[in-house]
C-alpha cells in the first residue's frame, strides 16, 4: 500500500497524487469524517445541504485533476463486513477526507474498513490518500487529538463510546494544520491554535509525532518503509530542545 498523506485537502503535490493513482483513474472518496454536518436542511440560496456543500468541494477538486470519483459511505456497511470486503475488492485508490477523527475511526470499526486496510497493506498497487482526520486515524493512538476533535461526538446510526486506539499503520502520531506563525496571520486555519495543544501533549508524553503544515505532503510505501517528505521536518519525539 502506498500512502499519500496531507495536512489539508490535497496539498501542494497534486502531480504526485495523479502519478500514484494514474491519470484519469478512479478514486473512491470516503466522506464519513463529516457525518456530523447537517444533511437535512437546505442552505438558503444553494439548493444543497451543508454536508453536500462540504463534500462537493472535495469531489470538484478531485475531478479537476482528471479523476473519476466514486463515493463510498461506510454507514451503508455498518455490520456488513463481508459486503464491504466485496465492494473494496475492486477498489484501487481511496481518498479519505478530514473532519472528526473519532467519528471516522468509528466508521472504520463499525464497517470493518480498518480490517480491509490491514489486508491491503502488502498490496503495492493500492493507494490510500487522505488529509487531516484521514491521516490521524492511521496513528497508533488518538490520545491528544481530543484537544481539537470532540471524542464524545454523537451521530445518528453510530454506536456510543470512544475508540482511542488507531489503526497503527503509521508508527507515530499526526498533528495536521500545524502552523507556528498562526498568530500573525489574518486567516489561519481555525484549528491551528488547538493543534499547539495537541503537539504539547505529544511532547510532554514523549510521543513520536509529525506536525504537518497545510500544503505539506508525506508519501509512504508501507511495504518498503520508504518515506518522502514534501516540506516536512520529519518525525519528532519528546520536548523540543
Which residues share a beta bridge with 211?
175
Residue pLDDT, tens place only, 174-224: 999 998 888 888 888 888 899 999 999 999 999 999 999 999 999 999 888
Mean pLDDT of 105-126: 96
Is 65 inside a domain boundary?
Answer: yes
Is 236 inside a domain boundary?
Answer: no
- The residues near 196 (Cβ < 8 Å, ≥ 6 apart) are none
What are the E-state strand segments in the chain?
2-6, 26-30, 68-71, 93-96, 127-131, 173-175, 209-211, 217-221, 227-230
> Structurally, how many domains does the chain consist of?
1
Q: What integer pLDDT is reported at residue 176 of this predicted model?
A: 94
CB half-sphere exposure, 203, CA atoms < 13 A: 10
Q: What integer pLDDT is reported at residue 50 of this predicted model?
A: 95
Is 235 inside a domain boundary?
Answer: no
**pTM, full prediction:** 0.94
Is 197 inside a domain boundary?
Answer: yes
Determine which helix (DSSP H) or strand (DSSP E) holds 194, and give its type and residue range: helix 192-204
Dihedral sign for Cα atoms in the order 179, 101, 66, 26? positive
Q: What integer pLDDT is reported at residue 238 of this predicted model?
A: 54
DSSP helix/strand/coil, 62: helix
CA distance 9 to 207: 25
Q: What integer pLDDT is reported at residue 99 of this predicted model?
A: 97
Residue 75 domain boundaries: 2-230
User: Is beta strand 217-221 parallel, antiparallel or unpaired with respect to 227-230?
Assistant: antiparallel
DSSP helix/strand/coil, 49: strand
Determine contact, residues 10/228, Cβ cutoff 8 Å: no
Query: What CATH number is attached to the domain comprising 137?
Result: 3.40.50.880
Q: What integer pLDDT is reported at residue 43 of this predicted model?
A: 93
pLDDT at position 17 over 80: yes
Amino acid at each position: 500500500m502506498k500512502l499519500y498523506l496531507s495536512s489539508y485537502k490535497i496539498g501542494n503535490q497534486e502531480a504526485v497524487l495523479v502519478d500514484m493513482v494514474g491519470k484519469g483513474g478512479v478514486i473512491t472518496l470516503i466522506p464519513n469524517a463529516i457525518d456530523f454536518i447537517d444533511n437535512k436542511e437546505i442552505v438558503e440560496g444553494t439548493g444543497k445541504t451543508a454536508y453536500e456543500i462540504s463534500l462537493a468541494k472535495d469531489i470538484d477538486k478531485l475531478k479537476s485533476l482528471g479523476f473519476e470519483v466514486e463515493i463510498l459511505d461506510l454507514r451503508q456497511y455498518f455490520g456488513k463486513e463481508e459486503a464491504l470486503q466485496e465492494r473494496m475488492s475492486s477498489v484501487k485508490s481511496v481518498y479519505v477526507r478530514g473532519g472528526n477523527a473519532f467519528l471516522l475511526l468509528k466508521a472504520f470499526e463499525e464497517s470493518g474498513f480498518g480490517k480491509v486496510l490491514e489486508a491491503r497493506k502488502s498490496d503495492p498497487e493500492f493507494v490510500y490518500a487522505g488529509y487531516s482526520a484521514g491521516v490521524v486515524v492511521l496513528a497508533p493512538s488518538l490520545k491528544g487529538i481530543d484537544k481539537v476533535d470532540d471524542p464524545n461526538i454523537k451521530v445518528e446510526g453510530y454506536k456510543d463510546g470512544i475508540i482511542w486506539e488507531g489503526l497503527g499503520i503509521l508508527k507515530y502520531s499526526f498533528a495536521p494544520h500545524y502552523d507556528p506563525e498562526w498568530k500573525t496571520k489574518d486567516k489561519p486555519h481555525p484549528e491551528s491554535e488547538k493543534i499547539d495543544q495537541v503537539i504539547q501533549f505529544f511532547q510532554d508524553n514523549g510521543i513520536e509525532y509529525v506536525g504537518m503544515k497545510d500544503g505539506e505532503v508525506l508519501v509512504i510505501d508501507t511495504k518498503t518503509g520508504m518515506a518522502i517528505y514534501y516540506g516536512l521536518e520529519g518525525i519528532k519525539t519528546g520536548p523540543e530542545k
